[in-house]
Structures are given as C-alpha cells and as structure tokens.
Amino acid sequence: MPARSDTIAERFEEIAYELNGITYLPHYRNRAIFVSPGYPKHNKTRFTDVELQLRGAKPKTVMLWARGFTGTVSDSNP
C-alpha cells in the first residue's frame, strides 16, 4: 500500500492571465508559456504573456505548484 501524505504541496505566487472568462496558467515545465484549461488533451494552443496581453488579457496572481523556467514545450512534448 502506498504511503499516505497529509502534507500540502508548497505553492508559490505566479502570474496567470484572464481573457473572456478563461484563465491561462503558466505551463508547469516553462512558466513563460501559458495554456488554457484542457491542455494538451482538448486544446494544444500555447501563448506567451505578450500574445495574451495583445489580445486584451489581464494579469492576475494565483497560487500554484512550482513551475519550471526553461523546459521545452512542443506538440511532441506537451
């Protein structure tokens, strides 16, 4: 039987973006890439913060598990 942990994973403040009621979160491998709910199974679209801002997205602070800085995110490695 696997060990049970009653500890809560540490979370950190991260910037997310909201556009038309949808929250775009930083990808867990590379925080410079933002993805929408359902990524990558239902939606493989990825954005940078600049692309979201140009579309009118507003930044907001969210508490998330640690994110990477330089990980590769591609269609073959979502």
Residue boundaries of the structural domains of the chain: 12-64
Q: Provide the pairing of β-strand 46-47 with 58-64.
A: unpaired
Q: What pTM does this model have?
A: 0.83
pLDDT digits (tens, 9 = 90+) for 1-42: 566 667 788 999 999 999 999 999 999 989 999 999 999 999
Mean pLDDT across the stretch 44-66?
96
pLDDT(47) > 90: yes
